[in-house]
Amino acid sequence: MDQSTESKVADLVASLRESDTAVVLTGAGVSTASGIPAFRGEDGLWSEFDPKAFHRRRLDADPAGFWADRLELRERLTGGSIEPNAAHEAIATLEAEGHVDAVVTQNVDGLHREAGTENLIELHGTNEQVACDDCGRRTAAEPVFGRAAEGERPPRCECGGVLRPDVVLFGESLPGEAIERANWLAHRADWFLVAGSSLTVAPAAGLPGRAARSGATVGIVNLESTEKDDAAAVVVRADVTTILPAIERRV
């Protein structure tokens, strides 16, 4: 870690120590460090898969076809050994030690929970569950995807309703409760750290600005520049798996 980065980490640690309410927002850069492909970008999954195949209208009109494509997508997302990385673990430790109050994530992979984070807002839902479109019942995803792989397409709930991944599909709005909680936390925070997000997708992209306007010290840790860098007091161009553990060790 060069001297400039060391200085920025020290600034983030000092402001975290003085904070009363600290929030972390995570994006795809935290997941890709665990080997999960990004959705956007030149080599993202949306260059390999047609996003229209995962639209809400597709699920309604062709649930069998939707599930066939979703199985293929899930294989790309979960192939190999996918585990929490050093960034997930550092964030969970910061929360467990009382330094971080909540985590807001754009990711749907469930790795924050696996690492031990408890106060977690999953803006886009989670791949770890499926939900029934009729009765709303939620259950573990793995057995249901197994049924779909064996030919039950679409898999159905005990009530007869079609099961669907418990994530926000194209054509759907984000859960109102999750957005409200995230906005409330951004307004309350006096330390707000963005980790591994390009901040191009609303409403997450607006959270750092909301936090800054409310007086929070905003930090952004991302390999590439973001459109919201001007809202940050500290911008670190480095790997989240290096910076987050450094913050956790020094706080």
Binding residues for Zn(2+): 132, 135, 157, 159
Q: Is 124 a catalytic residue?
A: yes
SS3 for 139? strand
DSSP one-letter string for 156-185: B-TTSPBEEEEEPPBT-PPPHHHHHHHHHH
Q: Is the peptide bond before 203 cis (omega within 30 degrees of 0)?
A: yes
DSSP 204: G
- H or E segment to which residue 26 belongs: strand 22-26
- H or E segment to which residue 142 belongs: helix 141-149
Judging by DSSP bridges, how do beta strands 125-132 and 120-122 pair with one another? unpaired
Q: Which residues are catalytic?
A: 124
